Structure 1
Amino acid sequence: MKKISLLAALLLAYVANAQDVPEKYRPQFHFSPKAHWMNDPNGMLFHNGTYHLFYQYYPEAKIWGPMHWGHATSKDMVHWKEQPIALYPDNLGYIFSGSAVADVNNTSGFGKDGKTPLVAIFTHHNPVLEKQKTGRHEYQSIAYSLDDGVTWTKYSGNPVLPNPGITDFRDPKVRWYEPQKKWIMTLATKDRITFYSSPDLKSWSKESEFGADAGAHGGVWECPDLLPLTHEGKQVWLLIVNINPGGPNKGSAGQYFLGDFDGKTFTAYSKETKWLDWGADNYAAVTFSNTGNRSLLMGWMSNWQYANQVPTDPWRSANTISRELGLKTVGKELYLTSVPARELESIKGEGYSKKNLTVKAPVDLAPKGGNASGLFRLDLKTATAGDFELVLSNKTGNELLIGYDKASNQYYIDRSKSGKIDFEAGFGQKHTAPRLSKDGKIALTLVADVASVELFADGGLTVMTDIFFADTPLSDLTIKSAKGIQVEEVQYHVLKPSIE
C-alpha cells in the first residue's frame, strides 16, 4: 500500500508540475487559441474601447475543418482574451473569412434603442454545392450584434450577394465610403478583385474589377483590403491582396497596390508586384476597422505549405503583432511601410542601450543574466550599410540567423538550423528580401517570441516574418560581421508575456 501511495503521490506531483510549465512553442505575446485550429484573422474591429479579433476556427481538431468564427478581445491588441465562438456553420455552409463594421448610421436597420449594430460580412462556403461542382458554392452573408459583439444574429435574408458563377468568390472586406454615402465591398474573385457597393449592407451592386493583368498570379487571390492612407497631405488608396501560393519565398504571402479610388474604380499607380511581407509567415493580413486615422494590420502567422503540420499541441497557429501602416517615397517610387504598433510598448521590460559598438568577431547582445524566455525587442542602427548577422541560439545547437548581405543588397532570415524542421520539406530554408532604402545607414527592429521573429527594416520598408521551432528557447543573442561594422546604437528590451 505504501508503494502505491508513493507512486500516486509522485504522479500527482508530476501532473501539478506539468501544469505550471508553458506549452512548448506557445507564443507569449501573440494571440493563439487555447486549443485547436486557427487561420485567417476575420472581422477585426475597434468599438467602444475594445479591439475585436475574429478568426477562422475549427473547434474539433488542430487541422483545418468546417470553419467557424472564433473570437478574442483586447484593450490594446497585445493582451488578448479568448471569447466564445461567434459564428457557427449552418445550412448555408461553413463560415469563411470576412470583415465587420460598426454601422453607426444604422443603414442596415438592425440597430435598436439607439444601439449601434456591429455587422459581420462573411463568406458562406457550401460543401454540398461544392461537391456538385456548380461553381456557385461561395456567396456573401451578414450577421449583426447589438451587445458589442458578444452574440450574433444571422440575417434572415442571407445570402446578400449570390455567386454569379465564380469558383473562388470570397473574403469580403467592407468599409464606409463617405463621399458617396455607401458601403464598398472589396471581394476576392479568383484571379482579380471585384468591387461592390451597397447603401444598407443588404443589397449589393457591382462597381468594377481590378487585377487580372496586375501583380502576382502564382495562386488564387484571397483576403483583400482597401483603405485610404495619407502621404504628404494627399490621399492614397492601399489595396492589399493575399495570394496562395506564389509568395516571394514560396507559399502564402500578401502583395499590395497603391493608387486612387473614386468610389467605383481602383486605379493603381503601378501594376508591378510589391510585397507586404517578404517572410514566409504573414498571410491573410488585413486591417482593423473603425480605428480613426490609424491603419492597423494583423496577419495569420503561418503558411499553407505547412500550416497543418507544424509541431504545436493542442493548438495550431498564431497571429502577428499588430502593425501600423504608413507610406514612404524612395527615389520616385512610393512604398508601404509597416512598423510595430505602439501598444507593444506596454509589455516592455528591463533592458539596456549601448552606443558606438565596433563589431567583427561575435559580440554578445544578451542582457546580463541572460533571457531564458527568448522574448525581446531589439532596435539597432548601423553607421554604414555593411554586412552583419544576428545569431539567436541556444545550448542545444539551434541557430536562427537574421542579417544583411551587402553584395546582394538583401536582408535574410535563415531557419535551416533553427530546431525542428523535418515536418515539411521546404520549411528549413533561408528567406531573403531586398533592401529598398537608399540610406547609407541601416535601422532595424527585431521582435522575438518563443517561436517567431518579425523583422522591420529601414522604417518598415522591408518586413519579414518567420516562425521556427527550437528545441529550447533561443535565449542567446550575438552580432557578428565578417568585414566589420560600426553599430551606432543598439537597444534591447525584454518583452513580458501577455497571454491569459
Structure 2
Amino acid sequence: MTAATATTAETFRPALHYAARNTWLNDPNGLIFHDGVYHLYYQNNPLDNVWGNMSWGHATSPDLLTWTEHPVAIACDEEEDIFSGSIVFDRDNSSGFGTDSAPALVAVYTSAFKQGSAHPGIQAQSLAYSRDGGYTWTKHTANPVLNRGSAEFRDPKVIWYDGAAGSYWVMVAVEATDFQVVLYKSYDLSSWELLSTFGPANATGGVWECPDLFTLPVDGDPGNLKWVLTVNLNPGGPNSGSAGQYFVGDFDGTTFTSATTVTEGPQDPDRLGEYQWLDWGRDYYAAVSFSDAPENRRLMIAWMNNWEYANHIPTSPWRSPMTLAREISLHTVGGNPRLVQKAAGDFASLAGLARTFSLMDTEISDGTHILDGAAGTVQRIDVTLTCGSATEFGLIVRGDGDQGTRIGIRHLDGALIVDRRNSGQTDFHEAFASIDSAPLQAANGSYELTIYVDHCSVEIFAQGGQVTMTELIFPAPGSSDLAVYASGGTATINSLHVTQYS
C-alpha cells in the first residue's frame, strides 16, 4: 500500500463512532456499565485487520462518544479462540471469583476449541473473571462450564432473573444452524441447567447469533412490562446479508413466549417485510445491550458492517466501526408493541465544536439543489418533509456533483430508501453498491428524519426512531455537500436543522 492510499483510507476513520486503532473488530461483547464507565469489549484480531485470531478487544467511555482503547482483554491461545459473550457484575459473589466485599466481574464467553485441544471443533461456554474493574482477566481453570458437544453453540448473554419462578442467572445462547435460542439457568455461573428453547421463527435465512433478553415497559408504563428477545442472523436480512430481529412477549423464568411471531419454522420469503427488524440497513449486526446501564436505560450497540463484504471495506490500518449507542424503548405502534430507538451518546459534550445551518418552509422543485452553507463531513441532520407532487424526495449527503448518498422517501411505495451506488468507493466488492429500503408511512402527512453522518457511515432514525437504517459509505475526497432533491414534482422542507461537528 502506498502512503497516499494509506492516507486516503485513514480519512474514513469515524469521528462519532468507535473503531480500533489499527486492527480488525466485529461483534460487540461484554457490554457493561461499571464504576461510572461504559465498557465495550468486542471481537478483535489483535494481529491483523481481517477476521482471525479471535480475542476480546476492550475500550471504555464516560459518555458513549469518546472511547479509549485498552490492551486485549481476553486473548486467544493455542487451545481456543475467544468468541462472543457477555459480562455480569457478580454482586453477591455467587461464583466465588471475588469476595463478599469485593465482587468480581465475570465474563461468560464461547470457547471455539481448536484442533489439537481437548475439545477439537467444539463450541462451549467458558468463564473469565476480573478483580480490577474489567481491565485484566483470568480464565477459569475449570473451563468449559457448559458443553453440549456442539460445533455451533455460542454467544451467551447472561442476565439476572428475579421473578415468580425464583432468583438466578439466565443464559440465552444459540444453536446457530438450528435457528434456536437455548435458555439455561445457574445459581453460581458454573453449573447450568437447561430451561427451554425458542425457534425457529421468523427470519431463518442465515445462522442465528448473538441473542439478548431483557424487559421494557410498554409506552413508559412500569406496570406493563414485556420481555424482548433479540437474535441476529447472517445472511437473511431484509436488504441482504447480516441483520438483527426481535420478538416481544413474556418470560416466566423458564420459557420465552413470543406474541409477535409471524412465521414458525423456515422463513417465508414473501413475508420478510413483516418481521420485526432491529434495523433495516445493510450494516447493523450482532446488536446486544449493556448490563447495568444507569437509570435502567436499555442501551444497545451493534457492529457496523456486513459479512458479505466485511473483510474488504477500504479502510486501513483499522477495519470496521461500531454503531452509535442507542437507547431503545417499547411503544405501541399500529396497535402492536414495537421497539423505538434514538442515539444515546452525550452529544451536548460536542456542542462547543458545532456549527449550525437551518432552513424553514421551503419548497423543493424538481431536481437536485445544493444547500450553500450546509456542507460537512460529520453532521446531525434533523429534517421534516412533506410530499407535494414528487414521486421521490429527500437529501443527498456527502455529495460532490454526481457523487453522494441519496436518502429518500418514495411515498407511493411507503418506503425510505438509501441509495449508495454513487456514494464514493463502491467497487471494492460486488455486493456493496445498493439501493436499500425500509417501510415508512407519513405521520400527519409528513416525514421526520434524524440522520447522523460520519466519515464512513449514515445512521437514520425515521418517525421518531420507529424505523432505522444504518449504512456504511466511503465518500470520494472532497464530497461534503448537502443537497435536497425531488423527482417528478415538488416537496416541502417544513424544517431542516444541521449540526456540523467538523
Q: Is TM > 0.5 for Structure 1 vs Structure 2? A: yes
Which residue of 130, 140, 165 maps to 1:155?
140
Which residue of 259, 267, 280 maps to 1:269?
259
Measured against aligned partners, the alpha-carbon deviations of 1:282-310 in whole angstroms (never above 9, x if no partner) come to: 11011111114201111000000000111
Equivalent residue, structure 2, for 1:305:
308
1:439, distance to aligned residue in structure 2 (A): 4.3
Measured against aligned partners, the alpha-carbon deviations of 1:297-330 in whole angstroms (never above 9, x if no partner) come to: 1100000000011111111100000011012222
Which residue of 186, 189, 213 maps to 2:175?
189
1:471–1:364 distance in 2 versus 1, CA, 3 Å? closer
Measured against aligned partners, the alpha-carbon deviations of 1:224-260 in whole angstroms (never above 9, x if no partner) come to: 1111111142101111110001111111100111111
Indicate if the aligned counterparts of 1:351 and 1:367 stay in contact, CA closer than 8 A.
no
Equivalent residue, structure 2, for 1:118:
105
Equivalent residue, structure 1, for 2:84:
97
Equivalent residue, structure 1, for 2:494:
488
Equivalent residue, structure 2, for 1:461:
466
Counterpart of 1:298 in structure 2: which amino acid? I
Q: Secondary structure at the match of 2:420?
A: strand
1:382, distance to aligned residue in structure 2 (A): 2.5
Q: What are the residue-to-residue correspondences of 1:16-415 with 2, within 5 Å? A: 23-112=10-99, 114-128=101-115, 137-162=122-147, 164-179=148-163, 180-190=166-176, 191-212=179-200, 214-232=201-219, 233=221, 234-272=224-262, 273-291=275-293, 292-348=295-351, 349-361=354-366, 362-365=368-371, 367=373, 370-371=375-376, 374-383=377-386, 387-395=392-400, 397-415=402-420
Rounded Cα–Cα distance in structure 1 between residues aligned with 2:350 and 2:252: 41
Measured against aligned partners, the alpha-carbon deviations of 1:143-164 in whole angstroms (never above 9, x if no partner) come to: 11111111111111111111x2
Counterpart of 2:122 in structure 1: which amino acid? H
1:158–1:91 distance in 2 versus 1, CA, 3 Å? farther
Indicate if the aligned counterparts of 1:35 and 1:315 stay in contact, CA closer than 8 A.
yes
Indicate if the aligned counterparts of 2:172 and 2:182 stay in contact, CA closer than 8 A.
yes
Indicate if the aligned counterparts of 1:37 and 1:58 stay in contact, CA closer than 8 A.
yes
1:270, distance to aligned residue in structure 2 (A): 2.0
1:335, distance to aligned residue in structure 2 (A): 1.2
1:210, distance to aligned residue in structure 2 (A): 0.4
Counterpart of 1:165 in structure 2: which amino acid? G
Aligned length: 475
Q: Secondary structure at the match of 1:459?
A: helix
Off by >6 Å, runs of 4+ in structure 1 = 17-22, 129-132
CA RMSD of aligned residues (A): 2.3
1:197, distance to aligned residue in structure 2 (A): 0.7
1:142–1:436 distance in 2 versus 1, CA, 3 Å? farther
Indicate if the aligned counterparts of 2:381 and 2:499 stay in contact, CA closer than 8 A.
yes
* Structure 1 runs not aligned, ≥5 long: 1-14
Indicate if the aligned counterparts of 1:58 and 1:64 stay in contact, CA closer than 8 A.
yes
Indicate if the aligned counterparts of 2:324 and 2:345 stay in contact, CA closer than 8 A.
no
Rounded Cα–Cα distance in structure 2 between residues aligned with 1:131 and 1:102: 29
Indicate if the aligned counterparts of 2:304 and 2:322 stay in contact, CA closer than 8 A.
yes
Rounded Cα–Cα distance in structure 1 between residues aligned with 2:12 and 2:340: 29
Rounded Cα–Cα distance in structure 2 between residues aligned with 1:304 and 1:492: 32
Indicate if the aligned counterparts of 1:450 and 1:473 stay in contact, CA closer than 8 A.
no
Equivalent residue, structure 2, for 1:9:
none
Q: Secondary structure at the match of 1:33?
A: coil
Indicate if the aligned counterparts of 1:130 and 1:137 stay in contact, CA closer than 8 A.
no
TM-score normalized with structure 1 length? 0.90
1:305–1:473 distance in 2 versus 1, CA, 3 Å? farther
Equivalent residue, structure 2, for 1:445:
450
Equivalent residue, structure 1, for 2:271:
none
Equivalent residue, structure 2, for 1:5:
none
TM-score normalized with structure 2 length? 0.90
Q: Secondary structure at the match of 2:312?
A: coil
Rounded Cα–Cα distance in structure 1 between residues aligned with 2:131 and 2:256: 33
Q: Percent identity?
A: 41
1:345, distance to aligned residue in structure 2 (A): 3.3
Q: Which moved more, 1:19-28 or 1:420-429?
A: 19-28
